[in-house]
Amino acid sequence: MPRKLRVQYPGAVYHVMNRGDRREPIFKGDADRELFLATLGECCEKTGWRIHAFCLMTNHFHLVVETPRGNLVAGMKWFLGTYTARFNRRHKLFGHLFSGRYKALAVDGSGGGYLKTVCDYVHLNPTRANLLQPREPLRAFGWSSYPQYLKPPSKRFGWLQVSRVLGEHGIPRDSTAGRQQFEARMEERRAAEDGREYGPIRRGWWV
């Protein structure tokens, strides 16, 4: 049975995920996570992508990516292939790193709040995976875009776009007060997290 064609068009937003082959780790340590993010930055330079959220788990990753040029397929081919080659070279391995075809769910980026819902889902992954102690703040997990949202623009990854998500949270300015408001709101979401709101997002996905 032929694979379904990817829907691509300029300005499309996707929730992209892939996991390790046989559910094995795609990161053996923080150096690999840094390599992944550096490769993602290169990919954004090549493709013009805008990243709204990311989360790096042990054996999978989540991205919320906007494609102004409608080039998800070409970009993902370069990104996954380049990271795999670099990972294998670093660890003296060969062969597949990722499990089959990546998943890409189209996100309604029209401003109706669904982009916020998807990015919140991505940012709350460490909570669902029990990677934080009860009294640890969500920002303590350093391998998602959430801590980046709390930094001033000059200290963030240049390819991370925060304004649309903040806007959908009703925060008009990327200011110190706005970032504090965002953090308070996300901690409230974390405290109330029960997964019911994310049913349509989680279907067919791994946490």
Task: Judge whether 7 lies within some domain.
Answer: no
Q: pLDDT per residue over 119-149, tens digit each?
A: 999 999 999 999 998 889 999 999 999 999 9
- The pTM assigned to this predicted structure is 0.91
Residues 185 and 145 reside in one and the same domain: yes
Task: Judge whether 161 lies within some domain.
Answer: yes
Q: What is the pLDDT of residue 136?
A: 93
Task: Judge whether 179 lies within some domain.
Answer: yes
Domain at 75, CATH number: 3.30.70.1290
Q: Which residue has the tokens 């550096």?
A: 38
Asked which of 70, 92, 107 is the last residue of a domain, the reply is 107
User: Could you please report the per-residue DSSP string of the chain?
Assistant: -PPPPPP--TTEEEEEEEEBGGG--S-SSHHHHHHHHHHHHHHHHHH--EEEEEEE-SSEEEEEEEETTS-HHHHHHHHHHHHHHHHHHHHT--S--B-SSPEEEEE--SSSSHHHHHHHHHHTHHHHTT-S-TTS-GGG--SBSHHHHTS-GGGS-TTB--HHHHHHTT----SHHHHHHHHHHHHHHHHH--SGGGHHHHTT---
Q: pLDDT per residue over 152-193, tens digit each?
A: 999 999 999 999 999 999 999 999 999 999 999 999 999 887
Asked which of 107, 135, 160 is the last residue of a domain, the reply is 107
Q: What is the pLDDT of residue 1?
A: 46
Task: Judge whether 5 lies within some domain.
Answer: no
Task: Judge whether 40 lies within some domain.
Answer: yes
Task: Judge whether 1 lies within some domain.
Answer: no
Task: Judge whether 36 lies within some domain.
Answer: yes
Asked which of 42, 72, 107 is the last residue of a domain, the reply is 107
Q: Which residue has the tokens 């923080």?
A: 30
Domain of residue 54, residue span: 12-107
Residues 81 and 119 reside in one and the same domain: no
Distance separating alpha carbons of residues 176 and 58, to the nearest angstrom: 32
Residues 101 and 118 reside in one and the same domain: no
Residues 48 and 77 reside in one and the same domain: yes
Question: Which residues, other chains included, contact 1 with Cβ-Cβ below 8 Å and sequence gap of 6+?
Answer: none
CA-closest candidate to residue 80, choices 138, 135, 16: 16
Residues 178 and 149 reside in one and the same domain: yes
Residues 93 and 122 reside in one and the same domain: no
CA-closest candidate to residue 104, choices 70, 148, 149: 70
* 67 strand-pairing partners: 12
Instruction: State the total domains in the chain.
Output: 2
